Amino acid sequence: MKTNRRNFLRTAAAGIAAVSLADFSAFASTANPIRPPEPERKGKSVMGLACEPLKTVRIGLVGLGMRGLDTLERLMFVEGVEVTAICDVIPERVTAGKKAVTKAKRKEPVGYSNGEEDWKNLCERDDVDLVYSCTPWLWHTPVSVYAMKHGKHAATEVPAAMTIGDCWELVNTAEETRRHCMMLENCCYDFFELNTLNMARKGVFGEIMYGEGAYIHDLRWLKFDRVNGYAGMWRLKYNMTHNGNPYPTHGLGPVAQIMCINRGDRMDYLNSISTNQVGMTRYAEEKFGSLSPDAIQTYALGDMNTTVIHTVNGKTIMIQHDTTSPRPYSRIHMISGTKGMARKWPVEQIALEPKAHQWLKKKDYSKLMKEYEHPLAAKIGKTAKKVGGHGGMDYIMDSRLSYCLRKGLPLDQDVYDAAAWSSVIELSSISVNKRGNSVDMPDFTRGEWKDAKPLGIVTID
């Protein structure tokens, strides 16, 4: 009886998932094998966009949960920024945010907490230059679009968009408003990733042919924690109805920058496969009992998703996602070229010609890392480690963002990167549903990737 009831409930919930996934099939049928035409450009390209320099970057911060409150505290240490307004649907979080700012001896920001769309009032303020969003995933695009439409630059937590439609909306809005839209891919600013960018630009690895990245992070406890976990359990809810890779950008971003994606090369098509979902159900059964709602619930997200991206210039990138299996954290970060390779996880290692069949010895590795220390790490790395935020990378990212906005420079990650990296979410889901068949990836630059200059070795004076 019990088993039958569970099976019935699982099948019913699977039916709901099937209906929502059916929405993708219309897109899939046009997306593969014929690439759908890019929507007509209404604005002007923002490739290399430079805007008027700001004296101080006045920030309006939306979403003050685990990430947002940390961000707010970190921003108190970042040169050239001021937080003038904050917003969260939970009033106590706004109060805590105000306290964090006054504790740092800064002027108390104006608080917004009047429902799900009060961030619109924050976006409309005259004393906000940059709307910085740390909300759950589905709010990222609406907040960024509204911010740009009200003359503000937008910076959004990852991923910037969850659907291809939203990716285009970000691109079109940035082009029409000529505002920056940066996805805050902090992993591009981690120390090893910056070092390998520096080494790659200096030709140490030769021509880079292949890269790997991942988000392998056992988040089961957080996903199922109704008290201390994600607000309203947004991550678990998304996992109920979406398969593929819902969080590709931590692994993809640094590899894409190194491989000059959108600046000389472009992601052309992908293939994606997933294991069955087992881990979340097992966890819920063990933790809450086999008849608990969380154990009966079906989850569309397979435990491990593997996506392989093929670029126009014939390079490949493998990206994995697993937030369900009990295993150590990894973003892999591996790049392989004609002269050697580097890999960050499980241990930082480099192998180079003429002895590339073995890893560099510790002494030689340290010497090389010192020689190619990235200028950002050399300049602000120590402070970054003191301030913290994923070992310092968050501080480096915010400092570089503030620097570029104050100097009127193009940003390291533009709206085309935000869209291309985020597009893997829906495209991987389509491919998984088609037994891993290839799915074409849109060209969000509308051809401009061919002449765009690769991202340089960025720095701060």
Ligand X SMILES: NC(=O)c1ccc[n+]([C@@H]2O[C@H](COP(=O)([O-])OP(=O)(O)OC[C@H]3O[C@@H](n4cnc5c(N)ncnc54)[C@H](O)[C@@H]3O)[C@@H](O)[C@H]2O)c1
Q: Which residues contact ligand X by CB under 6 A? A: 62-68, 87-90, 93, 116, 119, 134-137, 139, 157-158, 186, 230-231, 390
Q: Give the residue among 378, 361, 398, 387 at the shortest CA–CA distance from 82.
A: 398
Contact criterion met (CB below 8 Å) for 85 and 107: no
Quick one: 93 or 98, whose CB is closer to ligand X?
93
Q: How far is the CB of 143 from ligand X (least distance, A)?
A: 8
Contact criterion met (CB below 8 Å) for 425 and 164: no
Q: How far is the CB of 398 from ligand X (least distance, A)?
A: 11
Question: In whole angstroms, what is the distance from residue 10 CA to residue 30 CA?
Answer: 31
Q: How far is the CB of 111 from ligand X (least distance, A)?
A: 11
Q: How far is the CB of 390 from ligand X (least distance, A)?
A: 6
Quick one: 265 or 417, whose CB is closer to ligand X?
417
Question: In whole angstroms, what is the distance from residue 350 CA to residue 335 CA?
Answer: 10
Q: How far is the CB of 313 from ligand X (least distance, A)?
A: 29
Q: How far is the CB of 334 from ligand X (least distance, A)?
A: 20
In a 13 Å sphere around the CA of 428, the CA atoms on its Cβ side amount to: 30
**Left, alpha or beta for 142 (phi > 0: left; psi -120 to 50: alpha)?**
alpha
Torsion of CA 198, 203, 207, 209, to 10 degrees: -30
Quick one: 65 or 340, whose CB is closer to ligand X?
65
Quick one: 134 or 308, whose CB is closer to ligand X?
134
Q: How far is the CB of 122 from ligand X (least distance, A)?
A: 9
Quick one: 68 or 392, whose CB is closer to ligand X?
68
Beta-carbon contacts of residue 227 (< 8 Å; ≥ 6 apart): none
Residue 329's DSSP bridge partners are none
Residue 200's DSSP bridge partners are none
Quick one: 56 or 121, whose CB is closer to ligand X?
121
Residue 269's DSSP bridge partners are 310, 440
Question: In whole angstroms, what is the distance from residue 217 CA to residue 326 CA?
Answer: 8
Quick one: 97 or 337, whose CB is closer to ligand X?
97
Which residue lies nearest ligand X, judged by its C-beta?
A: 65
**Residue 273 is encoded by which pair of tokens?**
């496969």
Rounded to the nearest 5 degrees, what angle is found at the Cα of 185, between the Cα atoms of 107 and 108? Answer: 10
Find the length of the chain: 461
In the sheet that holds 349-352, the strands lie side by side as 349-352, 340-343, 334-337, 208-216, 316-322, 305-311, 267-274, 439-440
Q: How far is the CB of 39 from ligand X (least distance, A)?
A: 26
Quick one: 231 or 368, whose CB is closer to ligand X?
231
Quick one: 376 or 452, whose CB is closer to ligand X?
376
In the block, tokens 């940066």 appear at 182
Q: How far is the CB of 14 from ligand X (least distance, A)?
A: 26
Phi–psi pair at 154, nearest 5 degrees: -120, 135
